[in-house]
Amino acid sequence: MASSTASIIKSLRRDIDVAVISPVFKGDRFADRRMIVPFRRGLDSRMEPMPFTPKDFAAGGVLIDEIKRSGKTFT
């Protein structure tokens, strides 16, 4: 397989990380994720929901700072 073809295939398989910020979440990312995973069924299987409480998102962190810096906002 040519290098450029391999790069295209790899990029097509990449996960789509989706930060979901909601006051409904309790701050336990594993439990909160279980609440929203069923909603992604029937959508693009590459979507990876990442739940955050508004308080946790405002507090920042390595991952959150990356999201704020390079993420796109959808409402």
Identify the pLDDT of residue 58. Answer: 95
Q: How confident is the model at residue 46 (pLDDT cuts 50, 70, 90)?
A: confident
Identify the pLDDT of residue 53. Answer: 96
Q: How confident is the model at residue 64 (pLDDT cuts 50, 70, 90)?
A: very high
User: Model pTM greater than 0.75?
Assistant: no
HSE, CB side, 13 Å, CA atoms: give it for residue 44. 11
**Residue 21 backbone dihedrals phi, psi, to 5 degrees:** -110, 120
Q: What is the pLDDT of residues 15-43, one digit of tens each?
A: 788 899 999 999 998 899 899 888 877 78
